[in-house]
Amino acid sequence: MTLQVTPLDEPLGAMVQGWEPATALSADDEAVIRDGLHQHAVLVFRGHDQPSDEQLVRLAETFGELVKGSEWFGDIAPKPEILRVNNLLDDDGVPQGTGASDSLEWHSDYSYVGTVGKESFLEAVEIPTIDPPKTYFCSQYDAFDRLDPAMVERLRTLRAHHSITNYAAGGRRTPREGDDFRDDFQAKRERNRNLGLSRPDIPEADHPVVLQHPDTGRDILYVSRGITRRIIGLPKDESDDLLKQLATHSTDSAYVYAHEWQVGDLVIFDTLGTLHRRDAWNPAERRVMRQMSTLWTPPANGAAG
In this predicted model, what pLDDT tens digit does every residue of 220-250 receive, in sequence order? 999 999 999 999 999 999 999 999 999 999 9
Query: pTM for the whole thing?
Result: 0.91
Rounded Cα distance between 82 and 52, Å, is 11
Task: Give the pLDDT band of residue 181 (cuts 50, 70, 90).
Answer: very low
Question: Residue 173's pLDDT is what?
Answer: 37
Nearest in space to 230 (alpha carbons), one of 242, 219, 239, 221: 239
Nearest of 71, 59, 76, 77 to residue 19 by alpha carbon: 59
Give tens-digit pLDDT for 96-147: 888 788 899 999 999 999 999 999 999 999 999 999 999 999 999 999 999 9
Is residue 120 within 8 A of residue 111, CB to CB? The reply is no
Task: Name the DSSP class of 245.
Answer: H
In a 3-state reduction of DSSP, which class is residue 228? strand
pLDDT digits (tens, 9 = 90+) for 262-284: 999 999 999 999 999 999 999 99
> Which phi-psi region, left, alpha or beta, contains residue 276 (left: φ > 0; alpha: ψ -120 to 50)?
beta
Residues 148 and 109: their CA atoms lie apart, in Å, by: 26
* Cβ neighbours around 120 below 10 Å, total: 26
Quote the CA–CA distance of 86 and 98 in Å, as a whole number: 6
Q: Determine contact, residues 98/75, Cβ cutoff 8 Å.
A: yes
3-state helix, strand, coil in the chain (%, to 5): 25, 25, 50
- The structural domains of the chain, with segments of one domain joined by +, span 4-296
Is 184 a residue whose pLDDT tops 60?
A: no
DSSP alpha helix (H) spans, 73-137: none
Listed residue (206, 203, 163) closest to 299, CA to CA: 206
The CATH number that domain 4-296 falls under is 3.60.130.10
- The better pLDDT of the pair 10, 299 is held by 10
* Cross-strand partners of 122: 267, 291
